[in-house]
Chains A and B, each alone.
Chain A
Amino acid sequence: MPFIQLKNVNYVYPVREGASLKAIKNLSLSIEAGEYVALTGMNGSGKSTLAKLLNGLFKPTSGEILMDGVSTADEDKVFDIRRRVGMVFQNPDNQTVATIIEDDVAFGPENIGLPRDEIISRVDEALAAVGMSEYRKRQASALSGGQKQRVAIAGVLAMRPDVLILDEATAMLDPEGRDEVLSVVKRQNQNGVTVINITHSMQEAAMADRIIVLRKGRLAIDGAPAQVFSSGALRSCGLTLPPAAQLAAELKAEGFDLGAVTDEASLVEGLCKLFK
């Protein structure tokens, strides 16, 4: 059985008195343990709502989400699901609870009532995993954006999650900060953590094993990056190809097929084959 399973999920947002918005429409999909998935779509496509549905912050209006067989709507299991499905948000300044970094990382483990020694060893481990051990006694407000997001990831890792969701966690970072965060995420995925990266950067999406594209709350495209980029359907979802894939598509239209191109390396590979 897949690790995450969505069955005909609908989610209706109450906007204000009398008005509501269908954010997710009849969505069914499944994600296996250990996958690295990019979830994308233009603003308002429902991707952030989906993220909050996955860890039980929102409950489906109808349909069902199973996390390792447990429904996210199960009131008794909601904290268990939140512990197993960690989430990092967009704004680095709005998710730190504590002034001092190690205190912030300890927040989750404290909330679930772990014994003190366990908390300390988990904080050590989580800070080491994101390369922030030497900053543990520092103030969070003095860090760069990329460092703040790494601390936020450490706060999630200290809960030993099965799934790591990044809700546009790199959108406010400079290129350096983005690279820092993405390499930490990549390493976690190699250690077996399922990663769901919500982003509208196609370069970032290309790093995933699988891209899921939402359009107006519905599943629009789902497949490996090469498939998604060659499907020709991205534009209708308000998205663009990453530059390398765009160039490959244009060359293909001129009669030069480079094969599957998702990023710069595969473009160069394809070109070199043609030149030989």
Chain B
Amino acid sequence: MQAVQIKNLSYSYSKKTPNEKLALDNIDLTIEEGSFVAIIGETGSGKSTLLQHLNGLIKPQDKKRSCVVINGMSATDKKSLRRLRFEVGMVFQYPEYQLFADTVEKDIAFGPKNMKLDPDEVSQRVKRAMSVVGLDYDEFAQRSPFDLSGGEKRRVAIAGVIAMQPKILVLDEPVAGLDPTGRSELLSLVKKLQKEISPTVILVSHNMDDVAALADRVIALKDGKIVADGTPKQVFSDRRLTKAIGLDVPTAARICDMLAERGVSLPRDIITMDELKSALLALLSKDAPLNADQPLPNIPIPNDGGAADV
């Protein structure tokens, strides 16, 4: 099933003024349920405008031409707008700055209460959300969210979104400002959320190593257009494309390029450090010489250095 269906979507800010700025330019996009999509692009490329169309925070300007359908519901249809909003969980940048209630429990309950669920269901969902994000109910439920540490606040904010049990979870740079431990904890939390709560995840990130490690599809935006769309391997190994659109590549791919310049050629489709490590080991031990044409076996979820530093 298709979780997101977007056709001919364009959007301009300050329309019909001299400052008019085209933020989205005729976007066509479908996202399958169950996929983990990373959206990348520079600041101002249209990412956040696109995201806000997904739950009707921004409505298509040209209702006749454009269409945004989420899980079969049209974002232009007023009647389904509320339901649609609960199907798409939005975790904005620095979500801890939107906490407001005097206890963690009340803050997380805000979404479910707005859904008009009965009190038992609300409290059950709060408990479940807290346990998924790793906040102990007895310890945190009655505390003020403003007294928590930065990382804890962010987890409360995320719990507040997933307590609505959205089918689609959208995260805009969820690890911004966190320290390395916080980063790797949060990224594994996102994986867990996909497995347990929201089958479809859309992640905005500037970190190409994270994208290569987590996503099964990468969509690159530039000047409001989709300029690349495919698996991380397809997108990042197409160097002509990444150069042409000025796209950053993962560290592993960059190292491969640097090695190639020095005459050491490795397979072109290396995008994670674990893949790079196996390729290098193979080359160094010379037991099984690799050549550039031979594809690498697909290695499961690596990480960007979160493992032991020996």
Residue B206 CB within 8 A of the other chain:
yes
Interface pairs (7), CB distance under 8 Å: A240-B306, A241-B309, A247-B276, A254-B281, A264-B254, A265-B258, A274-B284
CB distance from B288 to the nearest CB of A (A): 15
Chain A interface secondary structure, helix, strand, loop or mixed?
A: helix
Find out whether the CB atom of B284 lies under 8 angstroms from the CB atom of A256.
yes
Chain A positions within 8 Å of B, measured between CB atoms, are: 42-44, 90, 144-145, 168, 171-172, 174-177, 200, 202, 229, 232, 234-235, 238-247, 249-254, 256, 264-265, 267-268, 271-272, 274-275
Docked pose: A202 CA to B198 CA in angstroms: 32
Which 10 A-B pairs rank lowest in CB-CB distance, beginning with the nearest? A246-B305, A200-B179, A249-B310, A240-B180, A42-B179, A243-B251, A238-B181, A268-B258, A241-B309, A240-B305
Residue B255 CB within 8 A of the other chain:
yes
Find out whether the CB atom of B305 lies under 8 angstroms from the CB atom of A243.
yes
B257-282, CB under 8 A of A: which get 1 and which 0?
A: 01100101000000001001100110
Residues of B within 8 A of A250 (CB): 277, 310
Find out whether the CB atom of A264 lies under 8 angstroms from the CB atom of B310.
no
Find out whether the CB atom of B151 lies under 8 angstroms from the CB atom of A43.
yes
Partner of B251, one of A168, A174, A264: A264
Q: Which residue of A lies closest to B246 (CB)?
A: A176
Q: A243-B305, A271-B264 are known contacts; what are 12 more A-B pairs with Cβ within 8 Å?
A: A43-B179, A172-B177, A232-B309, A232-B310, A240-B181, A244-B255, A247-B255, A247-B273, A250-B310, A254-B281, A256-B284, A275-B284
CB distance from B274 to the nearest CB of A (A): 9
Partner of B42, one of A174, A239, A252, A254: A174
Chain B positions within 8 Å of A, measured between CB atoms, are: 42-43, 149-151, 176-182, 184, 206, 209, 248, 251-252, 254-255, 258-259, 262, 264, 273, 276-277, 280-281, 283-284, 304-310
Q: Which residue of B lies closest to A267 (CB)?
A: B255
Docked pose: A246 CA to B310 CA in angstroms: 8
Partner of A44, one of B149, B177, B255: B149
Residues of B within 8 A of A229 (CB): 309
Residues of A within 8 A of B309 (CB): 229, 232, 234-235, 240-241, 245-246, 249
Docked pose: A241 CA to B42 CA in angstroms: 26
With most chain B CB atoms within 10 A of its CB, the pick from A145, A235, A240, A247 is A240
Residues of A within 8 A of B184 (CB): 240
Docked pose: A271 CA to B262 CA in angstroms: 10
Docked pose: A38 CA to B149 CA in angstroms: 24
Residues of B within 8 A of A234 (CB): 309
CB distance from B218 to the nearest CB of A (A): 16
Find out whether the CB atom of B277 lies under 8 angstroms from the CB atom of A247.
yes
Docked pose: A5 CA to B304 CA in angstroms: 36
Docked pose: A190 CA to B215 CA in angstroms: 40
Q: Which residue of A lies closest to B284 (CB)?
A: A256
Find out whether the CB atom of A251 lies under 8 angstroms from the CB atom of B262.
no
Docked pose: A49 CA to B173 CA in angstroms: 27
Residues of B within 8 A of A176 (CB): 42-43
Find out whether the CB atom of A172 lies under 8 angstroms from the CB atom of B176.
yes
Docked pose: A94 CA to B176 CA in angstroms: 17
Docked pose: A230 CA to B200 CA in angstroms: 40
